Structure 1
Amino acid sequence: MEVLELDSSSHFEIHPMSWIASERHAQGEKPHRHNYYVVIGVTSGSGTHDVDFQQYDVKPGSWWFLSPGQAHQLHMDGPHEGWVLSFAPDFFCLSDSNREFLINSGLFQNLLDFKPFFIAPEQLDLLEPYLQSIQAEYLTRRPYREEMLRGWLQLFLGQAARSFGGQVPSVHETSRAVCMVRQFQDLVEREFSRKTKVAEYAEFLHVTPSHLNDSVKKVTGQPASEHIKQRVILEAKRRAYFGNTSAKEIAFDLGFEDEAHFSKYFKANTGQTFSEYRKTIRHQYA
């Protein structure tokens, strides 16, 4: 199965990494995707973590905030400890304010410049008490369990945003400008296959295209148009690995007029044709 889906929009889980290793070890045998958010915190042990086909080293104190749809494969070398927390978008985002909180935290808004966050092991007590409280509530069946889990989750994410605040790209701009850029990134994630022009995003955000471009470039180092383009390329790369959809079908799904236009666009941005990339990536993870 290419996407590991939840049975319920109210899904929430939290487990020690040792439980995941013993109960769901088959998941780690090849890259896979989820239709929910995943937080992985490694407190001891080492290994590698492939996220969207880029490999990263895993070490104690590394934390991974994965968004729905990201391809990943975690391989740990020997004994290890840590946490794996997952929740459906609809579990947390019951209101617009919760969704804005998730966006503005900056924890999940790094698809195009993905990297793990890091906290020194001796500072783990900033995060672990929240996770222990979440797990204790998760293991109960008391009234208002979902509401309590949602509240503890927000507290944990808030503390994580504080702890990793210096690792989230930002500039000496007003918080309003940074929030707008994160809203833009969230909008790109939802609309990249339908909206391809900066002006379309600017209209939705009630700003001019030039203001949006300038703000995005100041915060991220790249203009808004580059974010849109790279998100399209990222999706094409994911589809190159998962399933057997033809290049023609993928081109149509991503808003291209025809396969030739898509192939030219893909090669210009990756240095390979789509068929070459598909062959390479499948051989790499065979």
Structure 2
Amino acid sequence: MKFEFHDPKLGSLFGFTDDIKKYHNTFSINSDNIQILWNRNKVPVFLCIDGLTITLRPDQLVTTTYLQHVSFSNTKAPLVSFLFNRAFYCINDHDSEVSCNGVLFFGTQDLPIITIPPEQEHKFNILYEVFKEEFDTSDQIQGDMLQMLLKRLIIICTRLAKEQHFLKSLNNEQIEIMRKFNVLVDTHFKTKRKVSEYAELLFKSPKTLSNLFAIYNQKSPQQIILERLALEAKRLISFTDKQHQEIAFELGFNDPAHFSKFFKKMTGYSPSKYKQTQVLGT
């Protein structure tokens, strides 16, 4: 099963399929898409994101963006996907409506794997069926209806992600600060390396940020910034043909030797050695 809404004039796309491995190359637009992947099977499903094997258990979802490299080569059971691009629904422009940036998408921390609670399975299954029904109605407002349904799905997933990934002791204001910090790091990590720079953008003190992440029992803000930089370096080394010097300059290092030193400190490998491990699949 594969459905697609595509407006060539706007370059917008919304796709819906019950088997993304089978259909992922068949949509009108195959780049710069965001996905919500859902395991509706009774068995775990495996996929690879940025070179790491991810296990999705039954009734779990994970979100991916166009910044990540997703492979379904090891995916055996069918995996549901809702996919869309910025022209269809820009989560940045609509962040005040859904508050998902930094929680579901474009975060700097671990992948947001969401578990659907048993009491909410019915809600998700009904929404799944409503998406299918909407594709049976082709009229001038179909795109608007699909946007409304997508927004509902994003809001439900964001609420679950906040419940499952943030401590109950954090209030909404604290969660908002962490969420915005994640988005800012994902946006500026190539040019801003200091916690003070992000604190200034958030109108907070560096100490406030550090204390907040300490309460959350997470990595420090500085560690998050450096790990985001290292992640981008690994992506560029693994999935492009760029030379290490090019990568260094792209990531804001004036000296390739400084980049190599940073990369080895963060990963335990030199850039060349890391490239070899990826080629060999180790």
Q: Residue 128 of structure 2 aligns with which residue?
A: 131
- Larger helix proportion of the pair: 1
| Aligned counterpart in structure 2 of residue 61 of structure 1, from 52, 59, 62 | 59
Residue 125 of structure 1 deviates from its aligned partner by 1.6
User: Which stretches in structure 2 are left out of the alignment for 5+ residues?
Assistant: 1-6
Q: How does 1:1-286 map to 2 (within 5 A)?
A: 10-17=12-19, 20-24=20-24, 34-44=31-41, 45-74=43-72, 75-77=74-76, 80-93=77-90, 96-98=93-95, 101-103=98-100, 106-108=103-105, 110-114=107-111, 116-119=113-116, 123-219=120-216, 221-284=218-281
SS in 1 for 2:75: strand
Q: Is the 8 A contact 2:230 2:263 kept in 1?
A: yes
Give the whole-Å Cα distance in 1 for the aligned partners of 2:128 and 2:85.
17
Paired with 1:147 and 1:66, the residues of 2 have a C-alpha distance of 23
SS at match of 2:140: coil
Contact 1:9 1:90 (C-alpha < 8 Å) held by counterparts: yes
Return closer, same or farther for 1:100/1:68 CA change in 2, 3 Å cut-off: farther
**8 Å contact kept, 1:47–1:59:** yes
Per-residue Cα deviation, 1:213-271 (whole angstroms, up to 9, x for no partner): 22233335111111110000000000111121011111111111210000000000111
Answer whether contact 1:170 1:178 (CA < 8 A) is retained: no
SS of the residue corresponding to residue 266 of structure 2 reads helix
**How far apart are the structure 2 equivalents of 1:160 and 1:115?**
10
Counterpart CA distance in 2 for 1:22 and 1:104 is 29
C-alpha distance in 2, partners of 1:158/1:91?
17
Would you say the 8 A contact 2:12–2:85 is kept in 1? yes
The verdict on how the C-alpha distance between 1:237 and 1:50 changes in structure 2, with shifts beyond 3 A counting, is same
**TM-score w.r.t. structure 1 length?**
0.83
CA distance in 2, matches of 1:105, 1:201: 14
Q: Are the equivalent residues in 2 in contact too, given 1:46–1:57 (CA < 8 A)?
A: yes
Q: Do the aligned partners of 2:63 and 2:111 also contact (CA within 8 Å) in 1?
A: no
TM-superposed deviation, 1:171: 4.7
8 Å contact kept, 1:119–1:164: no
Contact 1:239–1:245, Cα closer than 8 Å, also in 2: yes
More displaced, 7-16 or 270-279?
A: 7-16
How many aligned positions are there?
271
Contact 2:213 2:221 (C-alpha < 8 Å) held by counterparts: yes
Distance 2:187 2:165 in 1: 21
8 Å CA contact 2:174, 2:212 repeated in 1: yes
User: Is 231-240 or 207-216 further displaced after alignment?
Assistant: 207-216
Which one is further off, 166-175 or 144-153? 166-175
Question: CA RMSD of the aligned region, Å?
Answer: 2.8
Q: Secondary structure in 1 aligned to 2:105?
A: coil
Q: Secondary structure at the match of 1:133?
A: helix
Structure 1 residue 127: deviation in Å?
1.0
Aligned CA distance change for structure 1 residues 105 and 138 (closer, same or farther; 3 Å): farther
Secondary structure, aligned partner of 2:88: helix
- Secondary structure of 1:113 counterpart: coil
